[in-house]
Amino acid sequence: MVPGNNTQISEFILLGFSKEPEFQLLIFGLFLSMYLITVFGNLLIILAIISDSHLHTPMYFFLSNLSFVDICFTSTTIPKMLLNIITQTKVITYEDCLTQMYFFLLFVQLDNFLLTVMSYDRFIAICHPLHYTVIMNPVLCGLLVLISWLIGALNSLLQSLLALRLSFCTVLEIPHFFCEFKDVIQLACSNTFLNNVMMYFAIGLFGGGPFTGICYSYSKIVFSICGISSARGKYKAFSTCASHLSVVSLFYCTGLGVYLSSAVTHGSHSSATASVMYTVVTPMLNPFIYSLRNKDIKRFLRRFFGIAAVKGPIVLGLKKCQLLQHSKH
């Protein structure tokens, strides 16, 4: 782009999925449904862990943090997209775009770090069960989560501050339904070499590092499970990490699929559609994976919905009695 075209910009245009007005209502309904399922599903997981004393363990402590991060992750992008559909505008201000980029980067990294910490937790539980309670003590668990937040916040701040120094051209269309960091950087007229270097360095360090840690933990877990003589013992050991392994696979496969598809197709709509997988679908499926494959969570949910089902008729019965008493008077 010609350097002379840059100007002091105040807003970006989010192209989203479709320009056809007849599809907007369908897109709104679909994303609103997925957003509500994500929020309520993850809130149920958090409520289960807080309410049930049997779930006050390191694994569920990390899971509650992951559920909270997933709620924040989807809340960073989806509400703004829904608001734009209602108001029939595709505009996002420069300040809001940078804020969205910051929180999006923060919660993506937190997802990554928490999945890594959870894999370490499973490694200790299966490979060193006798020392589990000593190693995974409350202080260490709290420190691991705190360090994850600090690293994520500092790196997101650094990337956002580097984006502030850029000047942008008159073409301000972002081929996404949110301010995707890479796409915003590509719109800049000024030199983005430093931004690209820091972006790929962060991906290698904070993306590749945790992924290597997860692979190492599970290689040790598989080796340890293979050493168990009984089939029942192998099944019990594997079942304790099956849910986490499913979530890890979903997170990394969808994330990798997004960037591979964007690199191959270079299409705005195909890239935006692919990004839905890890920005919306993965956080939405996480509660289902943990609730369907976890006996403790399923037990709480049965008890929770059982109480709700019992309370309904009782409340209705009390109301009828009150009405009868009023009619007699």
DSSP class of residue 91? Answer: E
Residue linked to tokens 């894999």: 119
Using CB atoms within 10 A of its CB, is residue 9 exposed (0-12), middle (13-18) or buried (19+)? middle
* Residue 96: per-residue pLDDT: 94
Q: With 60 as the cut, is the pLDDT of residue 3 above it? A: no
180 Rama sector, left if φ>0, alpha if ψ -120 to 50, beta otherwise: beta
Could you read off the pLDDT of 245-294 as tens digits, one per residue? 888 988 888 877 776 666 665 555 666 777 888 788 889 998 888 877 67
Q: Do residues 76 and 103 make contact, with C-beta atoms less than 8 angstroms apart?
A: yes
pLDDT interval class at 218 (50, 70, 90)? very high
DSSP class of residue 208? Answer: I
Element (H, E) at 245: helix 231-265
What is the per-residue DSSP string for 108-149?
HHHHHHHHHHHHHHHHHHHHSGGGHHHHS-HHHHHHHHHHHH
* Pair of tokens at residue 288: 């289902």
CA 255 – CA 277 distance, rounded (Å) = 8
pTM comes to 0.86
CA 61 – CA 190 distance, rounded (Å) = 45
* Pair of tokens at residue 83: 């608001």
Q: Do residues 122 and 240 make contact, with C-beta atoms less than 8 angstroms apart?
A: yes
Question: Which strand ranges, in their side-by-side order, compose the sheet holding 173-174?
Answer: 91-93, 11-14, 173-174
Backbone angles phi, psi at 91, to 5 degrees: -85, 140
Could you read off the pLDDT of 308-319 as tens digits, one per residue? 555 555 555 555
Q: With 80 as the cut, is the pLDDT of residue 214 above it? A: yes
* Residue 326: per-residue pLDDT: 60
* Residue 5: per-residue pLDDT: 44
Average pLDDT over residues 199-226: 93
Of 100-114, 202-216, 277-291, minimum mean pLDDT range: 277-291
* Pair of tokens at residue 128: 């060193």
Average pLDDT over residues 120-145: 95
What are the CA-CA distances from residue 233 to residues 4, 230, 239 (Å)?
Answer: 69, 5, 10
Q: How would you classify the pairing of strands 173-174 and 91-93?
A: unpaired
pLDDT interval class at 116 (50, 70, 90)? very high
Could you read off the pLDDT of 15-52 as tens digits, one per residue? 887 777 778 889 899 999 999 999 999 999 999 999 88
Average pLDDT over residues 124-145: 95
* Pair of tokens at residue 41: 């599903």
pLDDT interval class at 300 (50, 70, 90)? confident
How many CA atoms are closer than 13 Å to the CA of 110, on its beta-carbon side? 27
Could you read off the pLDDT of 185-195 as tens digits, one per residue? 988 888 999 99
Q: With 90 as the cut, is the pLDDT of residue 149 above it? A: yes
What are the CA-CA distances from residue 217 to residues 137, 146, 203 (Å)?
Answer: 19, 21, 20
How much of the chain, in percent, has pLDDT values that exceed 70?
85
Q: With 50 as the cut, is the pLDDT of residue 4 above it? A: no
Average pLDDT over residues 100-104: 96
Per-chain mean pLDDT for the chain: 85
Q: With 50 as the cut, is the pLDDT of residue 6 above it? A: no
CA 292 – CA 87 distance, rounded (Å) = 38
Angle (nearest 5°) at CA 218 between 114 and 145: 15
Q: Do residues 45 and 290 make contact, with C-beta atoms less than 8 angstroms apart?
A: yes
Longest distance between any two alpha carbons in the chain, whole Å: 85
